[in-house]
Structure 1
């Protein structure tokens, strides 16, 4: 099967060089191989492209037509190859990111605005979804999520850990009192988010004396709203409630209880992390998210 691209490339070089020998030199081929490519192209197209003798060559009308269009096409290929290769070293182009609604509104939107200001050649599209892991089908470059499924075929980069803590609103604590020990949680009103948190609560309270679940939901924002309304004690990540703690809308409880942190991770298609825009974004997020917790959860605790 003829190499159509090699034939066209050789023809354009011959037309630009003016002689077969000079074209052969530019292509790094022998004179015979260069002449053979031209003959093969003319035979395949069924027309003469170049009039030639031992000292001179000129383009036929068909040759001029092919040179004009093929020359522009090869130049466009060179340009796009240069642009694509530049993206391996320079952050440029459209960067499509997906994450959860709460994460985007609370923390990521300001960070991406900062990233965009630092990288003016990158256009950011930040999208929100209930689940942010299926980026192969959605066409996103990066998904930012919490504790992704372990069987994901995507490459995962841990950006930082997000501490978890027990907290409740002052209104609830004034009504029901502060739990003084883990065992007291079994008689308090507790809010649980999702099935996975059922296990977390049981591990905190102890298998022999499970938590009293007053309200449960699969919606983290709803659980936070219940807690702010004084409905009970909730386990939340510091990312979600840092502002509430600072403003006194929620108070941390039992700061000595060690809860496993939630991992904030970025998922991307294997190999795509080699592009400069993805690599620079991941490095930026990792650096700035790790700066996001200047005060430890224990330091935020309000004594009973």
Structure 2
């Protein structure tokens, strides 16, 4: 294949140069090597492409057809290479991102909208799912996940911490009272989101006691709605309830209680990290995908 390409390239250079000697000079080859390539090409094709004499080279009919079609083919190949090489330096093309439903709607969608306005050559496609699945199988460029498990086939980039808070609605607190100490939680109803939340509750020092579990679910949005409806105390990610805290639908409890933050991370294939669209998006998200824990408001992209 390499010899075939070299033969075609040599033929085109000879015709463009107008002579074997000038074609050889432009190719950086000897006159003998250049002539040999032309002969090999004509032998492989089974027709003469160039009529030679001591002063001039002229194309045969077959040579004219081959020069036109081969020339256009190599030009398109050059364009293809240039287009692919630009993806390493210029953010462009389709960028496919997948994340969880609630996070996609509440946090990632506005940020990716802003990113798309800053990078008009990038077409952003955001998908949401219960779990950000296998990006190799799904064909996504980036998966935004929470505490993802290590995967030897993927690169993991930490984007931000994900602080958690204890919160409840004003109606619940009016009915049951506001806990003043961690031990007071034993007298309250808890809403548990997923199996991991049980470990979070067990990590709170309640003096050996445990709160009463009233409701549990694997749906974070459902747990949030239960809490707003006054069903009990819930542990939620700050990004998920920041608007509810600002609007007064929920209130934070026991800020002195330390709850471990989870990690928001991006997963992507090693080769994808070399493309400008992925690099620029990850850099943008790492800069802006934060939460102002002092006042409970999501940071705005600037």
Does structure 1 residue 125 correspond to structure 2 residue 98? no
Unpaired runs of 5+ residues, structure 2, are: 298-302
> 1:55, CA displacement in angstroms?
2.6
| 1:294 equivalenced with 2:289 (yes/no) | no
Between 242-251 and 57-66, the greater mean CA deviation after superposition: 57-66
8 Å CA contact 1:7–1:38 kept in 2: the answer is yes
Aligned to 1:215: 215
Deviation, structure 1 residue 226: 0.9
TM-score by length of 2: 0.92
Structure 1 residue matching 2:270: 3-state secondary structure: coil
Per-residue deviation, 1:101: 1.5
The alignment yields a C-alpha RMSD, in angstroms, of: 2.0
Report the CA distance between 1:219 and its aligned residue. 1.0
Q: Partner of 1:162 in structure 2?
A: 162
If the length of structure 1 is used for normalisation, what is the TM-score? 0.91
In structure 2, how many angstroms separate the alpha carbons of the residues matched to 1:49 and 1:132?
Answer: 58
* Structure 2 residue aligned with 1:9: 9
Partners of 2:123 and 2:263 lie apart in 1 by: 27
Conserved 8 A contact 1:238-1:297:
no
Q: Aligned ranges for residues 79-228 of structure 1 at < 5 Å?
A: 79-151=79-151, 153-205=153-205, 208-228=208-228
Shift of 1:211: 4.1
| Alignment-derived partner of residue 302 in structure 1 | none
CA–CA separation in structure 2 for the residues paired with 1:138 and 1:37: 46
Bigger shift: residues 46-55 or 63-72: 46-55
Correspondence for 2:50: 50
Equivalences, count: 297
Secondary structure of 2:204 counterpart: helix
User: C-alpha displacement at 1:152, in angstroms?
Assistant: 5.5
Deviations 1:158-195 (A, max 9, x none): 11112101111111111111222222223321111111
Unpaired stretches in structure 1, ≥5 consecutive residues: 300-304
Contact 2:179 2:254 in 1 (8 A): yes
Q: CA deviation at 1:53?
A: 2.8
Q: Is the 8 A contact 1:111 1:285 kept in 2?
A: yes
